[in-house]
Structure 1
Amino acid sequence: MIVSVTQDDGTVEELSTDDLSALEAAAIEEAMGGVQWARVEALLQLQEPEALRAVVWAHRRRTAPELKFADFDLPGWRRRVKARISRDEIEDALNNLMLQALSTQAEDTQIDRMTPHLRKLAHAPADVDAALDGLGKGHLARRRQDSED
């Protein structure tokens, strides 16, 4: 996941959960009351403020180790902080969907249903098209573009 924080001057800071150490991830889990990492990721996708705050806090502690989670706040979080999925996460989701869909012989339909959701969650929506191409399903992206024209 990539958590983007818009600063007061308009610049955007991008913080990746892939850059967190195991200790930082464990600190996030602990700060959130013992939530498992998979749940943290799900909460990030839902734009849950505590999960967003925890990721930013973990990154801020690198330069301010004394920073306590209870004292850390993100004013204006709803308009300033967003979590989006990375290209690797898009590819993982599509690969998992393909494996599930192959057993039902309906992979194109299932992938087609999921791509709007992936585009909404994607840090860079073009990554969805690139991941579809990599999966051999680029025709689904082109078909969607043709129907939008």
Structure 2
Amino acid sequence: MIISFTQDDGTVEQLSTDDLSAREAAAIEEAMGGAQWQRIEALLQLQDPTALRAVVWAFRRREQKDLAFDDFDIPGWRRRLKARISRDEIEDALTNLMAKALSSKSEDTQIDLLTPHLRTLAADPADVDAALDGLGKGHLVRHRQDSAA
């Protein structure tokens, strides 16, 4: 997940959960009441303010070792914080979907249902098309563009 944090001066800081250490991830889990990392990722996708704040807090603790989670806040969080998925996460989601759908022979239909959601969550919506191309499913992108015309 990529957390975009708009600073007071308007600059945008990108924080990737891929850059967290295992200890930092564990600290986020603890700060979130013992939630497992998969749950935190799901909450990030839902733009949960506590999960978003926890990730930024973990990065801020690198410079401020004694920064307590309960004391850390982000005023205006709704306009300043956004969680988006990376291309690797898009590829993982599509690969997992294809593996499950192969047995039902409905992979194209299921991918068609998932791609609008992936585009909404993607840090770069073009990554969805690139991931589809990489999986040999680029025809789904062209099909959607043809039907929209």
Q: TM-score range by the shorter chain?
A: over 0.9
Q: Quote the residue 1:134 is aligned against.
A: 134
Structure 1's unaligned 5+ residue stretches are none
Matches within 5 A, 1:42-121: 42-121=42-121
Q: Quote the residue 1:19 is aligned against.
A: 19
- The question of 1:38 aligning with 2:38 is answered yes
State the shift of 1:56 in Å: 0.3
Identity of aligned residues (%): 78
What number of residue pairs does the alignment pair up? 149
State the shift of 1:148 in Å: 2.5
* Alpha-carbon distance between aligned partners in 1 of 2:40 and 2:123, rounded to the nearest angstrom: 18
What is the root-mean-square deviation in Å for CA atoms of aligned residues?
0.6
State the shift of 1:48 in Å: 0.3
State the shift of 1:10 in Å: 1.2
Say which SS state the counterpart of residue 5 (structure 1) adopts.
Answer: strand
Say which SS state the counterpart of residue 141 (structure 1) adopts.
Answer: helix
* TM-score, with structure 1 as normaliser: 0.98
Task: List, as ranges, runs of 4+ consecutive aligned residues in structure 1 with deviation greater than 4 Å.
Answer: none
* Alpha-carbon distance between aligned partners in 2 of 1:116 and 1:80, rounded to the nearest angstrom: 24
Corresponding letter in the other structure for 2:123: H
Corresponding letter in the other structure for 1:98: M
State the shift of 1:137 in Å: 0.1
Q: Quote the residue 1:8 is aligned against.
A: 8
* Alpha-carbon distance between aligned partners in 2 of 1:6 and 1:64, rounded to the nearest angstrom: 20
* Alpha-carbon distance between aligned partners in 1 of 2:147 and 2:56, rounded to the nearest angstrom: 39
* Alpha-carbon distance between aligned partners in 1 of 2:118 and 2:142, rounded to the nearest angstrom: 16
State the shift of 1:147 in Å: 2.3
